[in-house]
Amino acid sequence: MPIKVYIETADPHFGEAIKAYLHSCDFDIVQDIDVANIVIYSTDLNEPSAYGLCQDLRRVNKDIPIIILSNEITLGEDVKAQYAGATEVFAIPFEPKVLSNFIRQGKQHGEY
């Protein structure tokens, strides 16, 4: 059964590139967050509202893995993101294969 991935991003070109790559790796890209096994959220962690989506998702679903993709991540921002509910934070640019491997490892460990 394929992993269902929901992707939220402010940059449509970046979002489409991530969706296309993950789709080519046999992940299902879903438009409804309620059916997703994992959420990928691309944001600027320097923005005050950046942590809001994680907090909102955690109130609704305490178990769904949330991966944040962001530019220029400091240790403090990484810690704040994980405190807000992120499972993992990737700094942009990153190697897409690292992202797909991380998602697959979670499935192998029964996280979703």
Half-sphere exposure of residue 70: CA atoms within 13 angstroms, side-chain side: 22
Helix or strand holding residue 6 (H, E): strand 4-9
User: Sheet harboring 88-92: ordered strands across?
Assistant: 28-30, 4-9, 38-42, 66-71, 88-92
What is the domain range of residue 60? 4-108
Query: Domain containing 53 — which CATH number?
Result: 3.40.50.2300
Q: How confident is the model at residue 109 (pLDDT cuts 50, 70, 90)?
A: low
Single pTM value for the model: 0.89
Structural domain count, the chain? 1
Q: What digits encode the pLDDT tens for the residues 8-61?
A: 998 999 999 999 999 999 999 999 999 999 999 998 888 878 888 888 888 888
Q: What digits encode the pLDDT tens for the residues 75-87?
A: 888 898 998 899 9
